[in-house]
Amino acid sequence: MYSRVKLNLNKFTASSLPNRAKELILDILFPPLCLSCQKYLNGQDKIVCQDCLRSIKINNTLFCPVCRARLADNKKICHYGSRYILAAAGNYDDAALKNLIQCFKYDYFESLTPILGEILIKYIEKLQLINQLTNQLINYVVVPVPLHLQRQRERGFNQSKLLAEFIAKKFGLQVTDALKRIKNNKPQAKCRDRKDRIKNIEGCFAIKNPEKIQERNLLLIDDVFTSGATMNEAVNVLRKNGVGRIIALVVAKA
What 3-state class would DSSP assign to 63? Answer: strand
Q: Evaluate if residue 139 carries a pLDDT over 90.
A: no
Least confident of 94-98, 132-136, 160-164: 132-136
Alpha helices in the chain (DSSP H): 4-13, 19-29, 50-55, 95-106, 113-127, 129-135, 149-155, 159-171, 194-201, 229-239
Smallest Cα–Cα separation from 162: which of 152, 149, 150?
152
- Contact criterion met (CB below 8 Å) for 241 and 143: no
Share of the chain above pLDDT 90, in %: 49
| Helix or strand (DSSP H, E) at 222 | strand 217-225
Averaged pLDDT, 112-139? 77
Q: The pTM is what?
A: 0.84
Distance of CA 9 to the CA centre of its chain: 28
pLDDT of residue 33: 87
Q: What is the pLDDT of residue 15?
A: 45
What domains can be seen in the chain, in order of their start residue?
53-253 (3.40.50)
